[in-house]
Chain A
Amino acid sequence: MPSKIYLIYFLIYKNLQLKYKHSLIGFVWSFLHPLFYLLVFNFVFSKAFSNIPHYSLFIISTLIFWIYFSGSCNQLSQTFIKNAHLIKSLNVRKLLYPVSEQGTELVSFLAGFLLFIFLMFYLGMPVNWNLLYILPIIVLFSIFTFSIGLILGALNVFFRDVGILWNTLNPALFYLSPIAYSLDIIPHQYLFYFKLNPLYHFFYIIRNVLYEGNAPSLIHCVYSLIITAVCFTIAMLIYRRTRNGFISSL
């Protein structure tokens, strides 16, 4: 279906245009935004976690993925509402809107990621063939992010507080995920709860590759795969169940 591909291309193009319309440096923000975070964390936590070698690299390896995740979920939770005028007047598969939204986020993530590769190299990232493992991880992580975003987006149509609630919980999830710290500091009795966080498993394998320079741990890969499959199934079920009601609620 070449026309579908054009459509996704144009929707992504449109989103990117709208995102950076009135900004002077456009794309560079997808690099600067995580960089500022990094500086702040370095400043605040580097003394506290001085036992972690290459602390900047430790943070940045997962921080960029966190920003990709939270940014995508944010956008996707609004996607059907934002495109209400199109949904009401064109008979196009509604799934195209979140797909193109995710595509947009992926494009700006990759653009920033390419720059960060150099920065991470400078910060002491081990360079070897294991680095290539990051590509399938990005794909898997994107599908996971898309699923969460789709769930939020579909429910947000009916109850706008889903989006607001998500924005409220976002910082909590950030601090509950091992981004600025490692799980070694968590008391043993709470460890189990921290591992329930799906992001933990993704961040674990991302650190394996970008921070340690190893192949990703198999068991965490399996966990991540299962999590993604379950989330994706739930997302599609919710989407299918709700899509015909979008019209009357938008």
Chain B
Amino acid sequence: MKQLAIELNDVSVSYLHNKRGIYSVKDFLLKGGLFSPFENKHVLHNINLKVYKGESLGVLGRNGEGKSTLLRTIVGIIIPDSGTCKVSIPISPLLALGAGLELELTGLENIKIYMALSGKYQKHTIKDLIAQVSDFSELTMDQLKMPVKMYSSGMLARLAFSTVMTTQPELLMIDEVLAVGDKGFQEKCKKRIHEVKEAGATVIFVSHNPEEVMEVCERGICLKEGTIICDGSSEEAGKEYTKLFM
């Protein structure tokens, strides 16, 4: 019996969008925006999605078709306008690369803050965790003691990915992180994602690259204009996605 991890029922999400480009009170008065300066811009329409424990789901779609919004809804950052979203396992979100990294602080401090933010911080384990991060990311302790603003984008990706993987998430969400980082590290990440899957974790993987999705995931969905146009194996979703460009 497969256990449900995520269940989305008829979920619709819209953003309050500034109809007339009103971002200040001056605009508000000048453009006569007294009658609702905001309008709803629909991003997701009636999404129905069931993800089971241990599944790996690839999410494909062009820019601005609602991929990140879908993830944010699952994480609970965005409350849907209608429909329900149930998540029955703890989540470790790595939504955007380097989100949550504070550039002025050192790598070590960033690791601690991330651990605290994801509720994994404990005094007696933090040393271990840092060692694991350092080990996986191949960043030396000296590098970790540098402010993050001095890192290259590849090093940032290593730090972010390793930190999240070290928290041993039951539900891993990856939003286009593999795009940066050198070939070797990309391979290492994919291997690690496989290991996490083997261990029974659920993976949601967002990418522009259908080959990557086919490689990492078994199941795939393809988003277009906020609706799921294809839900099947990752190969099917990949084909559907390539069709969008023809």
Please indicate whether A and B come from the same complex rather than being unrelated chains.
yes
Q: Which positions in A face B, CB cutoff 8 Å?
A: 3, 6-7, 9-11, 13-14, 17-18, 21, 85-92, 159-161, 165, 244-245, 247-249
Bound CA span A243–B25, Å: 20
B141 proximal to A (CB < 8 A): no
Q: For residue B26, which residues in chain A have a CB less than 8 angstroms away from its CB?
A: 161
A10 touches B104 (CB 8 A): no
**Known contacts A159-B25, A248-B15; is A6 also within 8 Å of B102 by CB?**
no
Bound CA span A12–B237, Å: 45
Provide 14 A-B residue pairs closer than 8 Å at the C-beta atoms, listed in order of the A residue: A3-B116, A18-B102, A18-B104, A85-B96, A85-B99, A87-B77, A88-B99, A89-B99, A89-B100, A90-B100, A92-B117, A159-B23, A159-B25, A165-B25
User: Which among B26, B95, B105, B116 has the highest number of chain A CB atoms within 10 Å?
Assistant: B116
B28 proximal to A (CB < 8 A): yes
B105 touches A88 (CB 8 A): no
A90 touches B112 (CB 8 A): no
Bound CA span A10–B105, Å: 12
CB distance from B123 to the nearest CB of A (A): 9
Q: For residue A92, which residues in chain B have a CB less than 8 angstroms away from its CB?
A: 117
CB distance from B150 to the nearest CB of A (A): 13
Q: Which positions in B face A, CB cutoff 8 Å?
A: 15-17, 23-26, 28, 72, 75-79, 91, 93, 95-96, 99-100, 102, 104-105, 109, 112-113, 116-121
CB distance from B95 to the nearest CB of A (A): 4
Bound CA span A10–B110, Å: 10
Bound CA span A9–B72, Å: 26
A14 touches B102 (CB 8 A): yes
Bound CA span A86–B17, Å: 21
Bound CA span A244–B16, Å: 10
Bound CA span A21–B96, Å: 26
A88 touches B96 (CB 8 A): yes
B95 touches A89 (CB 8 A): yes
Bound CA span A165–B26, Å: 12
B116 touches A86 (CB 8 A): no
Q: For residue A244, which residues in chain B have a CB less than 8 angstroms away from its CB?
A: 79
Bound CA span A11–B110, Å: 11
Decide if the interface of chain A is mainly helix, strand, loop or mixed: helix
A248 touches B17 (CB 8 A): yes
B72 touches A88 (CB 8 A): yes
Q: For residue A160, which residues in chain B have a CB less than 8 angstroms away from its CB?
A: 23-24
CB distance from B99 to the nearest CB of A (A): 4
Compute the total of residue contacts between A and B using a CB distance below 8 Å.
80
Bound CA span A13–B106, Å: 13
Residue of B nearest to A84 (CB): B99
Q: For residue B78, which residues in chain A have a CB less than 8 angstroms away from its CB?
A: 247
Top 9 closest pairs, chain A to chain B, by CB:
A89-B99, A248-B15, A89-B95, A91-B76, A3-B119, A7-B116, A10-B116, A6-B116, A161-B24
A88 touches B116 (CB 8 A): no
CB distance from B54 to the nearest CB of A (A): 22
Residue of A nearest to B14 (CB): A248
Q: For residue A159, which residues in chain B have a CB less than 8 angstroms away from its CB?
A: 23-25, 28
Residue of A nearest to B24 (CB): A161
Residue of B nearest to A92 (CB): B117
Bound CA span A249–B28, Å: 15
Q: For residue B117, which residues in chain A have a CB less than 8 angstroms away from its CB?
A: 7, 86, 90, 92
11 more contacts with CB within 8 A, not counting A7-B121, A159-B24, are A10-B112, A10-B116, A11-B113, A14-B105, A17-B109, A18-B102, A89-B99, A90-B77, A160-B23, A245-B16, A247-B72
A89 touches B105 (CB 8 A): no
CB distance from B139 to the nearest CB of A (A): 20
Bound CA span A208–B75, Å: 51
Q: For residue A18, which residues in chain B have a CB less than 8 angstroms away from its CB?
A: 102, 104-105
CB distance from A20 to the nearest CB of B (A): 11
User: Which among A17, A85, A91, A92 has the highest number of chain B CB atoms within 10 Å?
Assistant: A91
B91 touches A91 (CB 8 A): yes
Q: For residue A7, which residues in chain B have a CB less than 8 angstroms away from its CB?
A: 116-117, 119, 121
User: Which among B24, B25, B77, B118 has the highest number of chain A CB atoms within 10 Å?
Assistant: B77
